[in-house]
């Protein structure tokens, strides 16, 4: 499957703790809450905590799918490789392309809040200037681009600093929110039920937005070739990451429902968390949570860059995209061509985004579009694990539930919300989401006609992979290729 020639990525750069931090940072708790809460509340109202809860259950199923698949195929392309080797190479390419497109769109959706939050530290009025927010956000993006180019170890050190401060601030305000008085409304357990959804279509639209909240934990799988004991570490870190961010999302979404009025949420659609902070701790609260959101946004730009560049690296290595994307820098062991290409495309999109409207408008359409693409590649991964482990599912109850039934439920859920939400989304969101996926058909058929080895894969079979001989850590990618009769030279 992987025709890996030339240098490889930096092996053994990340440990277990590093990988958990990357998983949490990938989901960007503070950014997701700040940028998405108003969109979620606008879609489902008081049912926003329920949407997050009921999306977390199938999302854990997808995290289990990634964990099980990562045990038998270590590949920076993750779902791109797994789906291609189990379902069909065309579906594998679509899975990888969906991640690439969603991550690239996020460069705009994520950089805008980074810029606006930075400006809000100095003047709230400046934060509403889309052009200025774009310029400052682009500057942060370029800084993160340089960090990612500098290698996995530099990336982790920067991430530990940013995410450490972010999580400390969020935990402080989670405690302060519990003791806040003068609430806009009292907490009601019905917020965690189905009663506040506007039918199944309303539930689907809320679940699609909730999927965006969680998205990003799977960066651990894209870092698998750079992680120690990756067959165990990357999947477990993803599961822990989903659990941590779920708790944070629920606490703060309930706090928003309790403390803020509908008018406050609507009028501050791109800055809800800062308003919450000001209510909980007047004077300092708003500024501190702006800092948390800013750091979270910058941190998730870093993890998203890792996801898209590692995916493009795997595609270039397999010759399903230009082979130059598979080149690795001799000093930093990073896919420098892929990083440069992503940087160039994102900067063009920053300029184009100014024609779309305000920060809030851009975020609303982008989040919904990304949700469609997330549903595609998560759903395909959920199916892939069932096929890869089909011979082992009946050997134990744990394998049946954790490696089959739960991931399959997650897959069906993802495809269901994809279909159901099409009737609820704006034309702009559908055009961005579906149009972005359709563009991938061009390189897919082009490189298929050119005879890329990716389209003649060795099938992924868990029984064969698990019983293969053990090879010392740091050589898992070589062992996998050797097992398939493919070149192992770096």
* Region 155-182 average pLDDT: 90
* Local confidence band at 467 (pLDDT 50, 70, 90 cut-offs): low
Residue 205: its pLDDT value, please?
79
* Helix axis angle, 441-449 to 89-120, nearest 10°: 140
Dihedral angle sign, alpha carbons of residues 181, 185, 190, 194: negative
485, pLDDT greater than 60: no
* Local confidence band at 356 (pLDDT 50, 70, 90 cut-offs): low
52, pLDDT greater than 60: yes
**DSSP secondary structure letters along 342-396:** HHHHHHHHHHHHTTS--HHHHHHHHHHHHHHHHHHHHHHHHHHHHHHTTTTTTS-
Output phi, psi for 436, to 5 deg. -60, -40
DSSP, collapsed to helix, strand or coil, labels residue 188 as: coil
Query: Which of 225, 413, 396 minimizes the C-alpha distance to 317?
Result: 225
Dihedral angle sign, alpha carbons of residues 464, 470, 473, 479: negative
Query: Taking a C-beta distance cutoff of 8 angstroms, is the pair 224, 234 a contact?
Result: yes
DSSP, collapsed to helix, strand or coil, labels residue 227 as: strand
d(CA 449, CA 451): 5
354, pLDDT greater than 80: no
pLDDT tens-digit readout, 428-461? 788 888 988 999 999 999 999 999 999 999 899 8
d(CA 80, CA 211): 19
pLDDT tens-digit readout, 263-302? 788 777 667 888 888 888 888 888 898 899 889 989 989 9
Q: What is the DSSP letter of 459?
A: P
Residue 470: its pLDDT value, please?
40
* Local confidence band at 478 (pLDDT 50, 70, 90 cut-offs): very low
H or E element at residue 167 = helix 152-178
Half-sphere exposure for 435 (CA within 13 Å, toward CB): 9
First to last CA, the chain: 15
* Local confidence band at 4 (pLDDT 50, 70, 90 cut-offs): very low
Residue 325: its pLDDT value, please?
95
156, pLDDT greater than 80: yes
pLDDT tens-digit readout, 188-225? 888 898 888 877 878 887 887 888 789 899 999 999 99
Query: Which of 474, 470, 385, 327 minimizes the C-alpha distance to 61?
Result: 385
The mean-pLDDT minimum among 80-89, 147-156, 479-488 falls in: 479-488
Residue 41: its pLDDT value, please?
86
Residue 355: its pLDDT value, please?
64
- Other C-beta atoms closer than 10 Å to the C-beta of 133 total 28
Mean pLDDT, the chain, rounded, equals: 85
Residue 178: its pLDDT value, please?
83
pTM value surpassing 0.85: yes
Residue 108: its pLDDT value, please?
73
* Local confidence band at 369 (pLDDT 50, 70, 90 cut-offs): confident
Residue 6: its pLDDT value, please?
47
113, pLDDT greater than 70: yes
| Protein fold of 16-483 | Amino acid/polyamine transporter I (1.20.1740)
d(CA 198, CA 19): 38
* Local confidence band at 44 (pLDDT 50, 70, 90 cut-offs): confident
d(CA 277, CA 256): 10
Residue 270: its pLDDT value, please?
61
Residue 469: its pLDDT value, please?
39
Most trustworthy range by pLDDT among 338-352, 380-394, 430-444, 469-483: 380-394
d(CA 425, CA 429): 6
Residue 428: its pLDDT value, please?
78
482, pLDDT greater than 90: no
Of 426 and 216, which is predicted with more confidence?
Answer: 216
Domain limits, the chain = 16-483
* Local confidence band at 360 (pLDDT 50, 70, 90 cut-offs): low
Q: What is the DSSP letter of 14?
A: B
Residue 121: its pLDDT value, please?
82
93, pLDDT greater than 60: yes
358, pLDDT greater than 90: no
Looking at the DSSP bridge assignments, the partners of residue 14 are: 227
* Region 171-185 average pLDDT: 81
d(CA 363, CA 113): 9
489, pLDDT greater than 60: no
- Quote the distance between the C-alpha of residue 355 and its chain's center: 26
490, pLDDT greater than 50: no
pLDDT tens-digit readout, 241-254? 999 999 999 999 99
């Amino acid at each position: 499957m992987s025709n890996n020639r030339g240098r490889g990525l930096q092996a053994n750069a990340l440990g277990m703790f590093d990988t958990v931090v990357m998983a949490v940072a990938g989901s960007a708790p503070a950014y997701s809450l700040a940028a998405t809460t108003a969109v979620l509340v606008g879609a489902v109202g008081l049912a926003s905590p329920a949407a997050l809860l009921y999306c977390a259950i199938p999302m854990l199923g997808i995290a289990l799918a990634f964990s099980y698949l990562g045990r038998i195929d270590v590949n920076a392309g993750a779902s791109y490789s797994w789906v291609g080797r189990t379902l069909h190479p065309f579906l594998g390419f679509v899975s990888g392309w969906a991640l690439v497109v969603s991550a690239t769109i996020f460069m705009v959706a994520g950089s805008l809040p980074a810029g606006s939050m930075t400006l809000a530290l100095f003047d709230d009025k400046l934060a509403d200037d889309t052009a200025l927010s774009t310029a400052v956000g682009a500057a942060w993006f370029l800084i993160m681009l340089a960090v990612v180019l500098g290698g996995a170890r530099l990336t982790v050190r920067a991430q530990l600093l940013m995410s450490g401060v972010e999580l400390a601030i969020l935990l402080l305000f989670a405690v302060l929110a519990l003791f806040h008085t003068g609430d806009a409304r009292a907490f009601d357990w019905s917020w965690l039920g189905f009663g506040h959804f506007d039918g199944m279509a309303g539930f689907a639209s809320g679940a699609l937005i909730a999927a965006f909240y969680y998205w990003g934990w799977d960066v651990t799988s894209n870092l698998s070739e750079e992680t120690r004991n990756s067959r165990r570490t990357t999947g477990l870190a993803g599961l822990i990451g989903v659990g941590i961010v779920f708790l944070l999302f629920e606490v703060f979404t309930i706090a928003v429902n309790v403390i803020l009025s509908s008018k406050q949420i609507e009028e501050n659609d791109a800055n809800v968390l800062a308003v919450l902070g000001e209510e909980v701790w007047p004077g300092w609260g708003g500024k501190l949570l702006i800092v948390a959101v800013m750091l979270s946004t910058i941190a998730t730009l870093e993890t998203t860059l890792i996801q898209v560049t590692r995916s493009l690296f795997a595609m270039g290595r397999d010759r399903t995209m230009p082979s130059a994307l598979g080149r690795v820098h001799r000093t930093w062991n990073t896919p420098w061509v892929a990083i440069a290409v992503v940087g160039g495309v994102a900067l063009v999109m920053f300029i184009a985004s100014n024609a779309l409207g305000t920060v809030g408008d851009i975020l609303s359409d982008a989040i919904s579009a990304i949700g469609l693409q997330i549903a595609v590649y998560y759903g395909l991964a959920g199916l892939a694990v069932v096929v890869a482990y089909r011979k082992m599912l009946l050997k134990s109850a744990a394998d049946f539930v954790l490696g089959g039934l739960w991931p399959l439920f997650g897959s069906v859920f993802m495809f269901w919300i994809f279909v159901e939400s099409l009737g609820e989304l704006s034309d702009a969101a559908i055009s961005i989401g579906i149009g972005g996926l359709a563009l991938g058909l061009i390189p897919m058929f082009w490189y298929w006609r050119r005879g890329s080895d990716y389209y003649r894969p060795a099938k992924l079979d868990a029984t064969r992979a698990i019983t293969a001989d053990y090879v010392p850590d740091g050589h898992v990618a070589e062992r996998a290729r050797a097992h398939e009769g493919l070149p192992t030279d770096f």
